[in-house]
Each structure stands twice: as structure tokens, then as C-alpha cells.
Structure 1
Amino acid sequence: MIDHAHDLASVREATDRLLSAAASLDNAAVAEPSRLPGWTRGHVLAHLARNADALVNVLEGRPMYVSGEARDADIERDAPRPLAAQLDDVRDSAARFQSASEVPADWSRTVELRNGVTDRAARIPFRRLVEVELHHVDLGIGYELEDLPKEFTEREIAFLADRFSGNPAVPPTLLLAAGREWRTGGSGGGEVTVSGPAADLLGWLAGRRDGAALDVSGPALPALPPL
């Protein structure tokens, strides 16, 4: 069962961790490359701020972004800002998201995200938590996949496994980590079993690691479509 209030508390905690860690940077470090190809740390911080505002739009019944081009342009516009401006924006946009989430609402309603994707409103706080936690790792400032809360890691593995479930480009796959199992992929071909530490499994599913640390039983480690 999705507990949006619990997830909102987790978002606050994760945002505080990210802001405290990023405060140790300086302007030069913000302009350095992040772990995401083509993005500086400034791009990551700008994206986090704009994503918070986009999710406010979702909660309030507006389009998440005006367009994909506008989304990208906003990130490019905000990426070069100095550290203080970046931190203020992440903090202020996070507060706007929390405020929008505290308005009495029907959390069972269906909302629309990007590219026609829909979800229950109650899952929006967890989607925001994913953004904050994984992009904290993407900053490359000492917070690793192994540092993510266990509950978050297992929930995100389950979320991504569900995302690839039924995709004919992914063979039927059994995922094993931390004494738990998940299934994903389509129904054609022989089943593949992928096992290993939960952090490595999450990293592979989320496109943050190449899966070299995972054990594979079957033809080969599946190639996953981009997220």
C-alpha cells in the first residue's frame, strides 16, 4: 500500500541530506561534470528544482512541462548559476512541492506526467523521492548507491522491475537481491536470473551501473531500454 504521507517525510529528509552535502561545494565544483553524461553538477541541481515545480503542476492539474523543449531550455538556463543560487532554488522549489502536497486532495485520483504517462497521485511523492535520491548520487560528491536507505532501494527495484515488465525487448528475468525477488521483462525466450547486491542491481536497472558486478544465469545480462 502506498503511504504518501510517509513518502513526503522521506522526501524532506532526502532533500535535507542533499542540500547539506551540496553546501560543501563551491562555484567551481558546481560547474564540473556530474556522473550524468553531458551534465554538470549545476545541470543536476537545476533539474531537481525544475522537477519539483513540474510535480506541483501535476498535483494541481496542469501539464507537467509546457514541452520537452521548454524543460530542457529551463535546465540549460539555470545550470550555470553559482552555488548559492542553486541551493536556494532547490530549497525553495522543494518547499513549494511540500506545500502543494499538503493541500487536502483525493490521493487516489489519476494524474498525468510526461509523454502521456499516468499514475496515482499517491505515488507522486515517491517519484519525487527517486529524483532526489538518485540525483544526489549523480552529483558525485560522496553519496553512493550503497548509502541509499534499504527501503528506498528495494522499492525502486520493484518500481523499475514493473516498468520493464511486459517489454518484449527484455527477456523474462528473475531479479534476486537482499533475500528478495522480483520478475521483469517479456514472455519470450529463456529466463535469465540476475542476482547480486541490491545497490548494484538498482544501479543496473536505473542506468547508473553496467551490471558487471552482478551474477547472471542464462544467455546474457539483458540490455535494458533507456528510462
Structure 2
Amino acid sequence: MIDHVHDLACLQNATERLLIAVAKMDNAAVREPSRLPGWSRGHVLAHVARNADALVNVFEGRPMYASAEARDSDIERDAPRPLDEQTEDVRESAARFRAATEAPGDWSRTVELRNGVTDSAARVVFRRWVEIELHHVDLGIGYELEDLPAEFTEREIGFLAERFSGHPDVSPTRLSDGTRAWSTGRAGDPEVTVTGSGADLVGWLAGRRDGGSLSVEGGTLPKLPPL
């Protein structure tokens, strides 16, 4: 069962860690490349802020983004801003998201995200937590996949395994971190077993690592579709 109250507390902690880390940068660092191809750190921070506002739209029954083009243009517009503007935008947009979660509402209701994806309102909080944690790593400022909270890592592996479950282009796959196991890919007996640390598994599933450090038995490492 999803506990959105617990997730809101975890999200708040993750957001504060991000803001503390970002405050140690300077304007030159914001303009430097992030770990995401074609994006500066400013792009990442702009996306984090605009994603918060987009999820407010979701909670309030509006389209997440006016269009894919509008989403991209907003990020490009905001990416070049100096550090103080970026930081304040991340902080203020996070506060707007928090305010939206405090409005009365049915947390079990189904809401629509991008590209026709639907989910429960309660799990939107976890999705936002994902945005904060992974994009903190993407900034390349000392926060690594190994630094992610253990609870988050385990849940994100399960979340992404579920996302690829039944996908026709992913062979039946068993995932294990040595103590826990997940299944993903097409239905059927697992053809491939992929074993590694939680950080390496979540990195591969989330497209942040190539999977070269994972152990693969029964075939080759499946190629995952983009998120």
C-alpha cells in the first residue's frame, strides 16, 4: 500500500539535500555539462522546477504540460539563469507542489501524466521523489547512485521492473541484488538473470549506467527501451 504521507516526508528530505548541494555551486558550474547528454546543469535544475509545476497541474486536473514543445521550450528558456534564480525556482516550485498535496482530495483517484500514462494520485509523490533523487545524481556534483537512500533504491528498482513488465522487446528477466528479486520483461520463464548491487541495478534500469558491472546468466543483458 502506498503511504503518500511517508513519501512526502522523504521527498522533503531529498529536496533539502538537493538544495544544500546546489547552493555550493557557482554560476560557472551551473553552465557546465550535466551527465545528461545535451543538458547543462542549468537544464537539469530548470527541469526539476518545471516538473514540480507540471505535477501541480496533474493534481489539479489539468494536462501535465501544454505540449511536448512547450515543456522543452520552458526548460531551454530557464536553463541559462544564474545560480540564485535557479535555486529559488527549485525551492518555490517545490513549495507549490507541497501546497497542492495539502489540498483536500482522494489519494486513490487516477490521474493522467504525460503521453497518456495514468497512475494513482498517491504514487505521484513517489514519482516526484524519483525526479529529485535521480536528477541530483545527474548534476554530477558528488551525489552518486550509491548515495541514494536504501528504501528509495529498492522501491525504484521495483517501480522500473514493473514499468518494463510485459514489454514485448524485453526478454523475460529476473533481477536480484543478492537478497531481493524482481521480474520484468515479457511473460514466460526467465531467460536471463541479472545480478548486481542496488545502485548498479537502478542505474541500468533508469538509463544512468550501461550495466557493464552487472552479472548476467542465461543470455545477454537485455536492451531496455527509453524511459
Q: Which amino acid aligns with 1:61?
A: G
Q: Secondary structure at the match of 2:111?
A: strand
User: How big is the shift at 1:188?
Assistant: 6.0
* 2:118 is equivalent to residue 118 of structure 1: yes
Q: Name the residue aligned to 1:7.
A: 7
% identity of equivalent residues = 74
Residues 146-185 of structure 1: per-residue CA shift (max 9 Å, x gap) = 0000000000000000000000100000000150000000
Q: Name the residue aligned to 1:214.
A: 214
Q: Secondary structure at the match of 1:213?
A: coil
Alpha-carbon distance between aligned partners in 2 of 1:65 and 1:151, rounded to the nearest angstrom: 30
**Which segments of structure 1 move beyond 4 Å, counting only runs of 4 or more?**
none
Q: Name the residue aligned to 2:94.
A: 94
Q: Which amino acid aligns with 1:167?
A: H
Q: Name the residue aligned to 1:72.
A: 72
Residues 35-68 of structure 1: per-residue CA shift (max 9 Å, x gap) = 0000000000000000000000000100000000
Alpha-carbon distance between aligned partners in 1 of 2:92 and 2:190, rounded to the nearest angstrom: 49
Q: Name the residue aligned to 1:53.
A: 53
Go from structure 1 to structure 2 and tell me whether the alpha carbon gap of 1:85 and 1:178 turns closer, same or farther (over 3 Å shift): farther
Residues 7-50 of structure 1: per-residue CA shift (max 9 Å, x gap) = 11111100000000010000000000000000000000000000
User: How big is the shift at 1:109?
Assistant: 0.4
Q: Which amino acid aligns with 1:18?
A: L
Q: Secondary structure at the match of 2:16?
A: helix
How many pairs does the alignment contain?
Answer: 227
User: How big is the shift at 1:112?
Assistant: 0.3
Q: Secondary structure at the match of 2:14?
A: helix
Q: Name the residue aligned to 1:200.
A: 200
Cα pair 2:195 2:216 within 8 Å, conserved? yes
* 2:171 is equivalent to residue 171 of structure 1: yes
Alpha-carbon distance between aligned partners in 1 of 2:223 and 2:114, rounded to the nearest angstrom: 24
Q: Which amino acid aligns with 1:169?
A: D
Cα pair 1:168 1:188 within 8 Å, conserved? no
Q: Name the residue aligned to 1:142.
A: 142
Residues 80-116 of structure 1: per-residue CA shift (max 9 Å, x gap) = 0000000000000000000000111100000000011
User: How big is the shift at 1:218?
Assistant: 1.5
User: How big is the shift at 1:189?
Assistant: 8.0
Q: Which amino acid aligns with 1:191?
A: E
TM value normalised by structure 1: 0.99
Structure 1 residue ranges without an equivalent (≥5): none
Cα pair 1:58 1:113 within 8 Å, conserved? yes
Cα pair 1:178 1:198 within 8 Å, conserved? no
Q: Name the residue aligned to 1:191.
A: 191
User: How big is the shift at 1:219?
Assistant: 1.4
